A = this chain, B = another copy of it.
Amino acid sequence: MANSKFEYVKAFEQPDTLLQNTWVVVRIDGRGFTKLCAKYAFEKPNDKRALDLMNAAARAVMTDLPDITIAYGVSDEYSFVFHKSCTLFERRASKLVTTIVSTFTAHYIHSWSTYFPDAPLTLPLPSFDGRAVCYPSVQNLRDYMSWRQVDCHINNLYNTTFWALIQLGGMDNRAAEELLAGTVSGDKNEILFSRFHINYNNEPEMYKKGSVVFRDYELVEPGTHNVQADADAIAEPVSMTKSQTEKDKKRRNKARIVIEHLDIIKDDFWDRRPWLLSNKPGKAPKET
């Protein structure tokens, strides 16, 4: 067929397979969301509707892609984690990243009117970019997650204080900025409390901790074992019979995807949810 004359161009595509046996994190970020916040008058320092919309889109991504074991979102970004044994799309970076970005965007646009019924979308539409990063060890992965959550904390404490100074204290942006320059956490807590009677600890967990999305199974009693030491051993894939694989798949599909606002820096979170690192679905949680 005449096509063969041109088909040689296929060979220019270069492989982009991600290194095997590493945790794959796909992080997506809103493009130009500063403008978007202004355009749709997002509330400051946090707009609950906007965060709920992000979370709804993330949950949809995890439903469509059961290979994702956990996701973490803050502000206009979301990180999705594939287990190190994952072989989806033969671990091709562009397939993994674009599938997540596209699915996320589709749901963000589609659900917009649910969360912003009074602010119809106009051009240019919201969009996201993304990238994949490999982490070889559990420690690296957990440090990545901690990095994002510490970032959430730092930014939220700053923004909460900044906007209190403006909204409650009547300052303008520049004055607030100058006042906060060089302050540490303690100073900001103090400003919030002494000037505005705001106890930062009582702020909503979603704003302070970000959002953690995962499949929910029965929590495991925190053991006395040193998680640090054998986290990589736990994460080691075990070879399974086909019927076992099928059973796992079913349990995973049946599991409820929850969105919580927890500390993911300390061991406790991971200790009690061993399925996140082992990729072995746990028991269905008791009905309550």
Report which A residues bind B (CB closer than 8 A).
1-3, 5-17, 19-22, 28, 31, 60, 64, 84, 93-95, 97-99, 101-103, 105-110, 121, 123-137, 139-140, 143-144, 146-147, 150-151, 154, 228-230, 232-233, 236
Q: For A127, give its contact among B17, B31, B106 (CB under 8 Å).
A: B106
Contact B19 A22 (CB under 8 A): yes
* Contact residues in B for A98 (Cβ distance below 8 Å): 28, 97-98, 101, 128-131
Report if A125-B140 is in contact (Cβ < 8 Å); known contacts: A9-B147, A11-B20, A15-B15.
no
Contacts of A129 in B (CB 8 A): 94-95, 98-99, 102
The answer on a CB contact under 8 Å between B102 and A135 is no
A19 and B14 CA atoms in complex are apart in Å by 8
- Assess the A6–B144 pair: CB atoms within 8 A: yes
Quick one: closest B residue to A226, CB to CB?
B233
CB nearest neighbor in B for A30: B102
**Which chain B residues lie closer than 8 Å to A6 at the CB level?**
143-144, 146-147, 150
* A108 cross-chain contacts in B, Cβ below 8 A: 106
